[in-house]
Structure 1
Amino acid sequence: MLLFVSSVKLVAEIALLAFAGQWLLGLLAGAKRETNFFYRLLKVLTDPFVRAARWVSPKLVLDRHLPLVAFLVVLFLWVVSTLYKIQLCLEIGVQACR
C-alpha cells in the first residue's frame, strides 16, 4: 500500500511541476508559446490531466479554465496522498518508510 501511495504522490508531483513549468514558460514566451518545443513537451505531459478535468467538471466550466481545474485537482490529490503516506508511516514506523 505504501508503494501505491508513493507512486500516486510521485505522479502528482510530476504533473504539478509540469503545470507550473508550462505556466511560467507561457508567461515568458508570450504569444509564440505554441511554437516553443519545451512548451509543447510540457503540454503533452499535462494533457491527460486536462482531459480528465474535462471529464469530471461540469460543462459550465470554460475550456480555457480547464488547466486551472486540472492543477487544483492534482494538487488536492497530492495533499491527500501526502497525508495518507504520513499516516501509513506513523502506523508502520518511520524507519520502515525509508
Structure 2
Amino acid sequence: MLFWLNAAQLVLYIGLLALLGQGVLYIIAGARRESNFVYQLFQVLNKPWVGAARWIAPRQVAEQHVPVVAFCVMAALYLAVTLGKIEYCIGVGMEACR
C-alpha cells in the first residue's frame, strides 16, 4: 500500500512541478513561448493533466485557464494522497513506513 501511495505522490509531484514550470515560462517567454523548446516539452508532459482538467471544467472556463484548473485539481489530489499516506503510516506504525 505504501508503495502505491508513494508512486501516486511522485507522479502528482512531477506533474505539479511541470505545470508550475510551464506557468513560469508562460510569463517569462511572453509571445515567443510557442517556439521555446522547454515550453513545448512542458506542454507534452502536461497534456494528460490538462486534458483531464478540460474534461472536468465547465465550458465557461476559458481555454487559457484550463492549466490553472489542472494545477488546482492536482494540488488537491496531492494533498489527499499525502493525508492518506500520513493516515496509513500512523495506522501501521511509523517504523513500518521507512
5+ residue gaps, structure 2, are none
Q: Which residue of 1 aligns with 2:69?
A: 69
Equivalence map 1:40-59=2 (5 Å): 40-59=40-59
Pairwise CA distance, 1:26: 1.8
Name whichever of 30-39 and 55-64 sits farther off. Answer: 55-64
5+ residue gaps, structure 1, are none
TM-score normalised by structure 2 residue count: 0.94
Task: Determine the C-alpha separation between the residues in 2 that align with 1:67 and 1:19.
Answer: 7
Pairwise CA distance, 1:54: 1.0
Q: Deviations over 1:14-42 (max 9, x none)?
A: 01100111111222211111101011001
State the aligned residue count: 98
Segments of 4+ moved more than 2 angstroms: none
Q: Which residue of 2 aligns with 1:16?
A: 16
Task: Determine the C-alpha separation between the residues in 2 that align with 1:90 and 1:46.
Answer: 33
Pairwise CA distance, 1:94: 1.1
Amino acid in structure 2 at the alignment position of 1:30: G
Q: Calculate the aligned-residue CA RMSD, in Å.
A: 0.9
Q: Which residue of 1 aligns with 2:94?
A: 94
Task: Determine the C-alpha separation between the residues in 2 that align with 1:28 and 1:64.
Answer: 16
TM-score normalised by structure 1 residue count: 0.94
Task: Determine the C-alpha separation between the residues in 2 that align with 1:82 and 1:92.
Answer: 15
- The share of aligned pairs that are identical, in percent, is 47
Task: Determine the C-alpha separation between the residues in 2 that align with 1:55 and 1:94.
Answer: 39
